[in-house]
Chains A and B, each alone.
Chain A
Amino acid sequence: MKTDIILSGVGGQGILSIATIIGEAALKNNLYMKQSEVHGMSQRGGDVQSNLRISDAPISSDLIPLKKCDLILSLEPMEALRYLPYLSENGWIVTSSAPFKNIPNYPEDSDVINEVKKVKNSVLIDVEAIAKEVGNTRCSNIVLLGAALPYLGIPAEYIEDAIKTIFARKGEEIVNMNLAALNAGRGESINRFHD
């Protein structure tokens, strides 16, 4: 297997926490992995992305070539579109539907959403609303990760285990809330898939 993922969002939204969970899952299951991150100036509210590559064979480049990305996983819909040149023909976009407006010239919400919908395989999810239902908007990232589970190319149990490991020191309640968030996101995504 080989999955090339671009994580995107706005600096401060926390795309790296998603990467950490996928990374833990990959490493524990002896998969190869490379994950290129953005640190520094753009973390101050600029556009940020992370290239995450998982494979059962050694990986060469830290960067994903154009048109080779299997999944764009985004915490912001316009940011998902920024990496469209990297998406492969059959690749998926899974993105939060909530615009993050910290620039004066942000386009019309509906225009952004329609542009995402034009992509053959796209899933738009109101992650914050779902996270709120589960218990806490701070789980939004995990809801998004859950929505991406069908397209990650690695078993859901790996991700569940990784969440258990990473949140273990925060207590059982937090672990369960994050697992619930993961499942809620996953359920939402599967429903969309069958629409």
Chain B
Amino acid sequence: MQKLLLLADEAIALGAIDGGLSGVYAYPGTPSTEITEFIQMNRDAQARGIHSRWCTNEKTAMEAAVGMSFAGKRSLVCMKHVGLNVAADPFMNSAITGVNGGVLVLSADDPSMHSSQNEQDSRYYAKFALIPSLEPSNQQEAYDMAYYGFELSEKLGRPILLRITTRLAHSRSGVVRKEMMSQNKTSFPNNPKQFILLPAIAKKNYADLLASQSKYVDNSENSPFNTYYDGDNKKRGIIACGVTYNYLMENKELINGSPILKIGQYPLPRKQVERIMTECESILVIEEGYPLIEEMLKGFLGKSLKINGKLDGTLPRQGELNPDSVASALSGKKAEPVVIPEIVRMRPPALCQGCGHRDMYEALNAVLKQYPEAKVFGDIGCYTLGALPPYGAISSCLDMGASITMAKGASDAGVFPAVAVIGDSTFTHSGITGLLDAVNENANITVVISDNLTTAMTGGQDSAGTGKLEAICEGIGVKKEHIRVLVPLKKNFEEMTSVIKEEIEYQGVSVIIPRRECLQTLKRKKKQ
């Protein structure tokens, strides 16, 4: 059998294609981006006409996926963990509607915040929505879970959450492919009211969801993704989930005959958990993210069996786990501190030399020197790096789109000048509605949409607003004469500073659009 060398992201993409996928819906976000990119480039996906165009944000992606499911076909939604917050409304409610065609919701968590704002654990979302979830430990399982995930979703009638973390998403290993399943034909739900969440119908659906919980536990107990490895040494049982199982196995010599329960499917398999808790004197829980299982096993009073994990400091609460932190949990020996030679300096990421965002910040900073009270609210993208030296230009970065709304709130509180800096893709993702709020109240804010014609930070995906930004702003009600387009280049510095100053002085909403293509996408285009 031929092995393919794939990132777990790519393995999920291929597993979904081979599992009969009809459409992937996603907004780029590290570490999930490569899934959709793989499907866009894949020949089989193209031959099958699988939908793979980027969506404007995770909410529109999730809703479109439910629409495809309504029509009987299999859909995949991909996002990074914080994207699931954006998609939370349709996600939670899709658990109530249930599915027709199978739906997989892929959420890629980022413990250690390699490229994120927080470490939230998507398994809680599955628990919150009362639906099953899957968590692969390696690239082959990632493939298998995507491959079988649609069938599971259709069998149980609910969307399934597939949770991965950065480490696995961006790690390559050999994967063996399975035979391609056929795609579903169009079919509509047997119950024509299934997707109408009027209270009377939603109540019935919710009752059904609650009644199905034991079925999901039963399915977990018989899942090939949950495995019990018995051992003679019952002093300690070990529960490991997803990628942490690898760190456990890396330390085979420290396992010492402990029984191991490997978890890959939730809700937790009750029988197996009961067995390990009954047979063993204590339990070590090794999980990536928050202490979800540990808290469940401990209970509110913590008076059960002795449970070691993240809550008692056996494992670190923050950051991703690794073979060394797991070794220390197993042996009880404190991990030696990692001593990097003193000469090694920090090397933080920075905006590329020649990037248009740099010219934008140069001009903005020059103008704001005249306004010591000015505050600049940032957003999420490459330009967030404007927070670092030499610019130190922004005071905030909360979530996608928050630059505009935070600037508005601060302006409401009396801050002047209140400036928002947002990228083109982030603007269409979540900035438009905030701008409408600002326009409706004629807030005194200046919005800089730094347009590099792409979604740059995640590697240059198409940006939903390309070619439409002025029209969008005007359509929302920003006055035409206060939508100012600039070319951010050194030679235009004077023009830029005078325009920025004019618009700051204007009492109302103004939008400045410095527009120049991202150097990285430009370089790639030239190569092709």
Interface residues of A (CB under 8 A from B): 10-11, 23-24, 27, 32-47, 59-66, 78-79, 81-82, 84-85, 102-107, 111-112, 115
Are A33 and B338 closer than 8 Å at their CB atoms? no
A-B contact count (CB 8 A): 131
Q: A63-B322, A65-B324, A81-B344 are in contact. Are A40 and B457 (CB under 8 A)?
A: yes
- For B80, the closest partner residue in chain A by CB is A40
Using Cβ atoms and an 8 Å threshold, which residues of chain B touch A84?
340-341
| Chain A, residue nearest B336 (CB) | A66
Q: Which residue of B lies closest to A85 (CB)?
A: B338
> Is A35 touching B341 in the complex (CB atoms < 8 A)?
no
Can you show 29 pairs from A to B with CB atoms below 8 A apart?
A24-B5, A33-B172, A33-B174, A34-B171, A37-B7, A37-B170, A37-B172, A38-B114, A39-B30, A39-B34, A39-B459, A41-B457, A44-B349, A44-B385, A45-B352, A46-B348, A59-B173, A60-B246, A64-B323, A66-B336, A79-B347, A81-B341, A81-B344, A82-B340, A102-B347, A102-B350, A103-B348, A111-B343, A112-B343
Residue of A33, A34, A45, A62 touching B349 (CB-CB under 8 A): A45
From B115, which residue of chain A is reached at the shortest CB distance?
A: A40
B31 at interface, CB cutoff 8 A: yes
> Whole-angstrom distance between the alpha carbons of A156 and B3 in the complex?
22
The answer to whether A36 touches B345, judged by C-beta atoms less than 8 angstroms apart, is no
Which of B172, B247, B324, B340 is within 8 Å of A35, CB to CB? B172
| Min C-beta distance of A66 to chain B, whole Å | 5
Q: Is B461 an interface residue (CB 8 A)?
A: no
B193 → A minimal CB distance (Å):
43
Q: Smallest distance from the beta carbon of A107 to chain B beta carbons, Å? A: 5
B458 at interface (Cβ–Cβ under 8 A)? Answer: yes
Closest 4 CB pairs of A and B: A40-B115, A46-B349, A40-B30, A60-B249
Q: How far is the CA of A132 from the CA of B302 in the complex (A)?
A: 66
**Bound: A41/B250 CA distance, A:** 29
Given contacts A66-B324, A66-B336, A85-B339, contact A46 B347 (CB under 8 A): yes
Rounded to whole angstroms, the CA-CA distance of A106 and B355 in the bound complex is 22
Within 8 A of A (CB), among B338-365: 338-341, 343-352
Distance to closest chain A CB from B391 (angstroms): 14
Interface residues of B in 263-309 (CB under 8 A from A): none
Bound-complex Cα distance A140 to B76 (A): 41
Q: How many angstroms from the CA of A157 to the CA of B167 in the assembled complex?
A: 31
Known: A37-B170, A38-B170, A41-B114. A65 touches B250 (CB 8 A): yes
Nearest CB of chain B from residue A37's CB, rounded to whole Å: 5
Interchain CA distance A14-B181 in the complex, whole Å: 37
- On chain B, the residues within 8 Å of A34 by CB distance are 171-173
**Is B382 a contact partner of A44 (Cβ separation < 8 A)?**
yes
Q: Chain B: residues with CB nearer than 8 A to chain A?
A: 3, 5, 7, 30-31, 33-34, 114-115, 167-168, 170-174, 243, 246-250, 252, 322-324, 327, 336, 338-341, 343-352, 382, 385, 389, 457-459
Collect the chain B residues with CB atoms within 8 Å of residue A82's CB: 340, 344
CB neighbours of B322 from chain A (8 A): 61, 63, 65
Q: Are A61 and B246 in contact (CB under 8 A)?
A: yes
In the assembled complex, the Cα of A187 lies from the Cα of B399 at a distance in Å of: 52
Q: Are A47 and B347 in contact (CB under 8 A)?
A: yes
Residue with the highest number of chain B CB atoms closer than 10 Å, among A33, A63, A82: A63
Q: A62-B173, A62-B246, A63-B323 are in contact. List 11 more A-B contacts (CB 8 A).
A: A39-B30, A40-B30, A40-B114, A42-B349, A45-B349, A46-B348, A60-B252, A78-B344, A81-B340, A85-B338, A85-B340
CB-based contact B336/A62 at 8 Å: no
| Chain B CB within 10 Å, residue with most, of A10, A34, A60, A102 | A60
Q: How far does the alpha carbon of A103 sit from the alpha carbon of B163 in the complex, in Å?
A: 37
Contact in complex: B167, A36 (CB < 8 Å): yes
B159 to chain A, nearest CB (A): 27
Q: Which chain A residue lies CB-closest to B352?
A: A44
Known pairs A45-B350, A103-B345; A37 contacts B174 (CB<8 A): no
Residue among B246, B343, B351 facing the most chain A CB atoms (10 A cut-off): B343
CB < 8 Å: which of B115, B338, B345, B459 contacts A105? B345
Q: Which residues does chain B contribute within 8 Å of A41, judged by CB atoms? A: 30, 114-115, 349, 385, 457
Give which listed residue, A35, A65, A103, contacts B173 with CB less than 8 A: A35
| Assembly CA distance A195 to B162 (angstroms) | 54
A32 touches B174 (CB 8 A): yes
- The residues of B that contact A61 with a CB separation of less than 8 Å are 246-247, 249-250, 322-323
Residue among A37, A47, A61, A81 with most chain B CB within 10 A: A61
Contacts of B343 in A (CB 8 A): 78, 81, 107, 111-112, 115
Given contact pairs A42-B349, A115-B343, A62 touches B167 in the complex (Cβ within 8 A): yes
Q: Are B323 and A65 in contact (CB under 8 A)?
A: yes
Chain B residue at minimum C-beta to C-beta distance from A47: B347
Residues of chain A contacted by B5 (CB below 8 angstroms): 23-24, 27, 33
In the complex formed, the residue of A with least CB distance to B337 is: A85
Separation of A37 and B168 alpha carbons in the complex (Å)? 9
* Cross-chain contact A39 with B171 (CB below 8 angstroms): no
Q: Which residue in chain A gives the minimum CB-CB distance to B252? A: A60
Contact residues in A for B324 (Cβ distance below 8 Å): 65-66
Residues of A within 8 A of B167 (CB): 36, 62-63
Give the nearest-CB partner of B389 in chain A. A104
Are A36 and B352 neighbours in the complex by a CB distance under 8 Å? no
Question: Known interface pairs A35-B172, A65-B327. Does A46 touch B30 (Cβ–Cβ under 8 Å)?
Answer: no
Q: Which residues from A are CB-within-8-Å of B347?
A: 10, 45-47, 78-79, 102-103
Contacts of B323 in A (CB 8 A): 61, 63-65
Chain A's nearest CB lies how many Å from the CB of B18?
20
Interfacial chain A residues near B458, Cβ < 8 Å: 40
